[in-house]
Amino acid sequence: MQPEKFPSGYIFELQSVEKQEVVKVFDHLDKLKYSPVSPKAFTEKGLYMLTTVLKSEQATPKQR
């Protein structure tokens, strides 16, 4: 994923407190609490943009 491809307001970086909450709620992300990097998250508009791109013909080539 390339965050710079998304317009401002479509993706954001989680703050430390938000990161801790995500780790607490989702057990499978336990290793994330040891990462010095703050994860990125999509806004609702960002998710819509991402799904639109992934559904495009360029992203999903036709099977032969």
The string of pLDDT tens digits covering residues 27-56 is 898 988 899 988 988 899 888 888 887 777
Residue-level pLDDT at 63: 64
> What CA–CA distances, in Å, run from 9 to 29, 43, 47, 58?
25, 7, 11, 25
Please say if the pLDDT value at position 62 is more than 80: no
Residue-level pLDDT at 26: 92
Residue-level pLDDT at 28: 92
Give CA–CA dist 39/19, Å, rounded: 7
Give CA–CA dist 8/19, Å, rounded: 21
Which helix (H) or strand (E) segment is 25 a member of? Answer: helix 16-25
Residue-level pLDDT at 64: 61
Q: What predicted TM-score, i.e. pTM, was given to this entire model?
A: 0.63
